[in-house]
């Protein structure tokens, strides 16, 4: 099957089965989304949704968090992965927003990447979810599913290479949804340790390229 045809069939499936999808993180503003995405690195969305309500009750916006110290934030996020580093990043990020952007989260990619604790994946999530831009974040789920479904090649061995390979073949209007389609498929069906091929509706299309599909 040609790659173009593979993309067409897989995207058609997702459009039909998951036409309206977004992040499973819970938030009330763009700033809160940014905080939640930073916290979600190497941690489950379920865990983040358990800690952010109390965190946001005390630090609902950049200006209040900018006045805190990392240990103040740490008290509310101690159960997430790498809490000390994330607490420091969040406070520095909030201070940068106040100092450089009047407390508002910028939509520009370079401005986002200048913020402490914000990498390309996080910036792409913000651009896509908050600002509706055609940005495709590649996390471990997207990376894994893209390889297993044969949407990218073995040469695409970094998140950036996978991102660039995917956006070449995905229509711009589908790109924001495509991140969530691949992510949710990886989270609930094409799981890391043991993919649930028996319940996968893409099984007939899937070449099952398991080897080398995980980020190392």
Catalytic positions are 121, 139
How many residues are given for the chain?
216
Backbone angles phi, psi at 151, to 5 degrees: -85, -20
| Cα–Cα distance for residue pair 2/16, rounded to 1 Å | 21
Determine how many CB atoms are found less than 10 A away from the CB of residue 176: 23
Burial class (CB in 10 A: 0-12, 13-18, 19+), 107: middle
Closest-CA residue to 194 (of 210, 206, 183): 210
**DSSP 3-state percent helix, strand, coil across the chain (nearest 5):** 60, 0, 40
């Amino acid at each position: 099957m040609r790659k173009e045809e593979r993309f067409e069939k897989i995207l058609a499936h997702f459009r039909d089965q998951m036409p309206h999808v977004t992040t499973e993180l819970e938030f009330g503003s763009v700033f809160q989304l940014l905080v939640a995405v930073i916290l979600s690195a190497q941690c489950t969305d379920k865990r983040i949704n358990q800690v952010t309500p109390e965190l946001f009750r005390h630090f609902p916006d950049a200006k209040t968090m900018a006045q805190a110290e990392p240990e103040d934030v740490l008290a509310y996020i101690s159960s997430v992965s790498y809490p000390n580093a994330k607490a420091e990043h969040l406070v520095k990020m909030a201070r940068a927003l106040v100092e450089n952007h009047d407390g508002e989260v910028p939509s520009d990619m370079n401005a986002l990447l200048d913020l402490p604790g914000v990498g390309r994946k996080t910036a792409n999530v913000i651009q896509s979810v908050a600002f509706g831009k055609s940005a495709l974040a590649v996390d471990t789920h997207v990376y894994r599913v893209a390889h297993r479904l044969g949407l990218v090649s073995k040469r695409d061995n970094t998140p950036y290479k996978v991102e660039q390979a995917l956006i070449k073949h995905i229509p711009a209007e589908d790109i924001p949804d495509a991140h969530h389609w691949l992510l949710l498929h990886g989270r609930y069906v094409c799981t890391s340790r043991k993919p649930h091929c028996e319940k996968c509706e893409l099984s007939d299309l899937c070449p099952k390229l398991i080897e080398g599909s995980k980020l190392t």
